[in-house]
A and B are shown apart, each in its own frame.
Chain A
Amino acid sequence: MMASKARIILSAALVGVTLASSGDRSPIFQICVDSCSTNRCRTQPVVLPLALRLTRWSCTDDCRYTCMHEVTSRDVERGAMVQQYYGKWPFSRFAGMQEPASVAFSVLNLWSYAQGARRVQKRVPSNHPMKVHYLVWSCISINAWFWSSVFHTRGKSHLNI
C-alpha cells in the first residue's frame, strides 16, 4: 500500500519534471539557434519585416522563433511531446505578436471593463457611496489589461517589470 503510494508520488514527480523541461535547453534547439545567428545575423545581417522591427524582434529572437517551430514540427512528426520554449508554448506569431490570441482576448477584456465602467457611470446615481470605487477600479483594471496585451505581444523581461 505504502509502496504503491510512493510509486504514484514518484511518477507524478517525474511527469512534473518532464513537463517542466523546456525546449530551449535541448541541444538540437541550441545548435539551430547558434548556426542561425552566425549565418543570418552576423555574416549577412537580414532586415526583418517592419512589423517585427516595430515589436522589437532582434535577429536572434527571429532565429529562436524559426528554430522553435522547426524543432516543434519535428517533434510532432515523431509523435514526441511538444515542448515549451522560454516558458511559453510555440505559438504562431501574427504581426509581431508572440501570443496573438492572448493579445486579442486581453483587448477584449479591456473593452469589457470600459463597457462596465460606462454602465456604472450611466446607471448608478452620482451620490451613491460605492460609485467612485467602481469607477476607480475600472480604470485600474483597464490599465492592467493594457499591460497584459503588451506583455503578450512581446513577453520579454524588460517589458515584464
Chain B
Amino acid sequence: MDYFSAALAILYALYYTVIRLFHLYPQPTQTRLTLPSNNLKSPSLVKNIWSLFCIMAYLAHISYLTLLPRFDYTYNMAFNLILGLTHNALWLIYSLPISLIRRFPSQPKSYRPPFVINAAVFVVLTTGATALELFDFPPWANIIDAHALWHLSTAPIALFWYDFLVEDALDHSWRDQRA
C-alpha cells in the first residue's frame, strides 16, 4: 500500500504538471458574444488521451508489481524516479529564463513573472533532499537515519511548493483570460 499510494501521488503530480504547462485545462470559449465568459469548452482530446495514458500506466504498474511473485524493488524505484525526474525537468523548462513554452494563458512566451524561479528552487531542494537517501548511514542515537532526514526535509519543501502553486494560480494572466 505504501508503494502504490506513493506512486499514485508522484504520477498525479506529473499528470497535473502536464495539464498546467501545456494548457490542457478547460479553456474559456473564444466566442464572447454568444456565450457567457465562464462557460468552459469540453476538455480537449489531448487531455483525454493524456488522462487515459496515465490511468493505463498506473494500472500496468500495479499489475506488474502484484502479479510478480516477488516485489520488484528495482523496477519500482526506476518507475518513481523517471516520473519524478520528468516532473522536475518540466518545471525547470517553465522556470528557466529560456522561454521554450508559453507559461501563462493569453500571454506571450516571453512573459515570465519573478516568482517562476521558485519552481527551479523547488527542483534543487527536492533533488538535494533525495540525494540524502544516497548517504545511507547507521542511525544517530539509534533514531535518525538518512531516510528519516529525507522525510523531515520534504515537509517544508511541500509547503514551499504549495505557496508557489498558489502564487502561480493567482497570476493576473488567469484573470485576464477569464475576463
Residues of A within 8 A of B (CB): 19, 81-82, 89-92, 99-102, 105-106, 108-109, 111-113, 115-117, 119-120, 123-124, 127-131, 133-134, 136-137, 140-141, 143-144, 146-148, 150-151, 159-161
Contact = CB atoms under 8 A, between A and B. Distances in A.
A159 B1 contact: yes
A130 B158 contact: no
Main secondary structure of the interface of B (DSSP, over half): helix
Given A101-B143, A105-B148, A115-B159, A130 B16 contact: yes
A92 B142 contact: yes
Contacts of B16: 130, 133-134, 137
Contact of B19 (A82, A130, A148): A130
Given A91-B139, A124-B169, A144-B9, A99 B20 contact: no
B1 A161 contact: yes
A22 B72 CA distance: 19
B152 A108 contact: yes
Given A101-B143, A109-B151, 8 more contacts: A89-B145, A108-B152, A120-B165, A131-B169, A137-B12, A143-B8, A144-B9, A161-B66
